[in-house]
Amino acid sequence: MIFGPPNHVNPLGKGLRAFSAVPAHEKIFKVTNAAKFLAAAGTTYSIPKLHGLPEVIVAGRANVGKSTLLNAVLGRRDLVHTSSKPGRTQSLNFYRVGPTFGPGKLVVVDAPGYGARGRPEWGEIFDYYIDHREQLRRIYILLNAKHGLNEMDRMMLESLNAKTHANAGTRFSLQAIVTKVDAIPLEDVKPTLAKIRQGIWEAAPLCLPAIVTTAAKHPYIGIDAVRKSIVEACGLQPKV
Ligand SMILES: Nc1nc2c(ncn2[C@@H]2O[C@H](COP(=O)(O)OP(=O)(O)OP(=O)(O)O)[C@@H](O)[C@H]2O)c(=O)[nH]1
Ligand SMILES: [Mg+2]
């Protein structure tokens, strides 16, 4: 038979078919579970080359939940260091995700926070990275559901929108992620998100639709959507 026996008489074939049907983001983030810390860069000179693997970075005010979100996305409890005190992450930290062998790898980068608790040298390395990183595919800007947008967030959104506009989306795109949605009362969720979305639209019209998340404890919200978005931004989604 040219096409082989039907799957119901071939358990191996069925298994293979089931595996190939696993979505790309699950293969990369869950099935392989191969997230690995690669490097930390505290200066522009120490940013690692990493052979051009596609890359995404998370940005946001100190304490917004960048590192916590990455742990949830990478499926690890404490690969990325977090803290209740703002200012925990002090360098660009690079993590590789995907199978150890073969294609399908990408890099996620955790950044120090901006704003009142940030330091000027952290801003310098972040700006340098955004302006020079060829393999950068998407910048995620994280916004705290509980605090909404402040002046620093608006300035950052405007600046990243201008950079996205300057490269006409050919180098990287920009997407918002709303964090800590579990920290606001249920009845406030809808109006709070509407206000945040309006603020994002006013400051950064090129920003892709916000993904809403909870990442500190189960039940997580939005983590699968973030994984899908990263895989799509890195061009690792299979063609349909
Ligand atoms: N309730 C709630 N708390 C969260 C969530 N995400 C993070 N947190 C808490 O927020 C605090 C800061 O989290 P981090 O992930 O360290 O924040 P960060 O943005 O990496 O902070 P810096 O590295 O200091 O810039 C920690 O106490 C987390 O447990 C969330 O989804 N919900
Ligand atoms: Mg951090």
Give this complex's ipTM.
0.99
What pLDDT is recorded for position 3? 43
Strands 173-179 and 136-144: parallel
- The residue whose CB lies within 8 Å of the most ligand 1 atoms, and thus the one to mutate among 58, 61, 63, 88, is 63
From the CB of 173, is ligand 1 less than 6 Å away? no
The helix-helix angle for 151-166 and 120-132 (nearest 10°) equals 20
Instruction: Name the amino acid, one letter, at 236.
Output: L
What pLDDT is recorded for position 8? 44
Tokens of 44: 């522009």
Locate all alpha helices (DSSP H) within 34-90, ordered by sequence.
66-74
Low-confidence ranges of the chain (pLDDT < 50): 1-15, 17
* Ligand 1 atom at minimum distance from 82 CA: 16
**pLDDT tens digits for 160-196?**
999 999 988 789 999 999 999 999 999 999 999 999 9
What is the rounded radius of gyration, in angstroms, for the C-alpha atoms of the chain? Answer: 19
What pLDDT is recorded for position 35? 87
8-state DSSP, 50: G
From the CB of 87, is ligand 1 less than 6 Å away? yes
Task: Give me ligand 1 centre to Cα 159, in Å.
Answer: 24
Task: Give me ligand 2 centre to Cα 69, in Å.
Answer: 9
Q: Whose CA is closest to 79, among 89, 87, 71, 88?
A: 71
From the CB of 105, is ligand 1 less than 6 Å away? no
What pLDDT is recorded for position 18? 53
For ligand 2, an ion, list residues with CB under 5 A.
Answer: 66-67, 88-89
What pLDDT is recorded for position 165? 95
Question: Looking at domain 22-233, which CATH architecture does it have?
Answer: 3-Layer(aba) Sandwich (3.40)
